[in-house]
């Protein structure tokens, strides 16, 4: 997700050829993808999409991974039926179109969709403990949930961050893990440093910020491991996510 200081949107990266193991359903008019663990649990995770939408195989792969590690995981269509950004549209050719498209996709307004997902997990799946995970645009949605809500035990934001001038940047209500790539042109390191400063100044709960050396935007869910360094970063970020969820749920 592009931010206010860098208007270049993220690209697809490597699209996984992945069929997924969960099922689609509709909750309160919102399409969702649900994956469940083999063993019953009262722990649930709401996963937030990137700009490429709720049907992207890469994101569903992450949902299934979370479920396979013992959580009921649900991925709502946060755009509520609106078209996601198409990976087939060249971002340089269609730059102005992307910026226009993005105006109606505010991650700070995630709460109606979050309410629907949370309600389903609690009422239909018996979930009592909640976490949230998001990628890119969804990382910003996680940040918004940790700041504005009190129903999540914790959250993990992959390469997503609220605007650096947001006065609530460091005011988390639940423990937050923020994961970035060192070579991310969408979120340059100065913004990551601003986040660290605000968290240190204002945050009253646990938090952690990790920057993976040499990694681009989207590396944890949209990059194929081309060498040992890639593999270590991708696996490391995913494991860090799982350990954070385990620690606080």
List 10, 143, 217, 221, catalytic entry: 217
Known catalytic residue at 132 = no
| Among 50, 64, 77, 184, the one annotated catalytic | 184
> Would residue 34 be called left, alpha or beta, if left means φ above 0 and alpha means ψ between -120 and 50 degrees?
beta
Is the Cα torsion angle 223, 82, 120, 147 positive or negative in sign? positive
Counting Cα atoms < 13 Å in the Cβ hemisphere of 202 gives: 16
Neighbours of 190 (CB within 10 A): 10
**Pairing relationship of beta strands 72-76 and 129-135 according to DSSP bridges:** unpaired
Which residue among 10, 136, 145, 154 is the active-site one?
A: 136
Question: Quick check: is 163 catalytic?
Answer: no
Reply yes or no on whether 136 is catalytic.
Answer: yes
CA dihedral 23, 28, 29, 32 (to 10 degrees): -30
| Catalytic residue annotation | 136, 184, 217
């Amino acid at each position: 997700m592009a931010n206010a200081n860098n208007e270049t949107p993220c690209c697809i990266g490597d699209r996984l050829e992945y069929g997924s193991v969960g099922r689609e359903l509709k909750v309160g008019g919102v399409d969702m993808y649900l994956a469940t663990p083999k063993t019953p649990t009262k722990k649930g995770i709401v996963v937030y999409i990137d700009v490429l939408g709720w049907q992207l195989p890469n994101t569903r792969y992450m949902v299934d991974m979370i479920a396979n590690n013992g959580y009921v995981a649900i991925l709502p269509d946060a755009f509520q039926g609106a078209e996601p950004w198409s990976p087939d549209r060249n971002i340089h050719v269609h730059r102005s179109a992307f910026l226009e498209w993005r105006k109606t996709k505010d991650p700070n307004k995630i709460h109606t969709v979050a309410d629907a997902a949370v309600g389903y997990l609690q009422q239909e799946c018996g979930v009592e403990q909640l976490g949230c995970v998001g990628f890119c645009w969804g990382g910003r949605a996680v940040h918004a949930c940790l700041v504005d809500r009190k129903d999540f035990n914790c959250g993990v934001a992959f390469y997503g961050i609220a605007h650096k001038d947001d006065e609530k940047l460091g005011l988390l209500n639940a423990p937050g893990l923020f994961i970035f790539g060192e070579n991310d042109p969408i979120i340059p390191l100065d913004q990551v440093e601003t986040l660290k400063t605000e968290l240190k100044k204002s945050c009253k709960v646990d938090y952690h910020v990790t920057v993976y050396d040499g990694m681009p935007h989207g590396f944890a869910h949209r990059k194929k491991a081309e060498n040992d360094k890639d593999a270590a970063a991708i696996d490391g970020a995913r494991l860090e996510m799982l350990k954070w969820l385990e620690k606080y749920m």
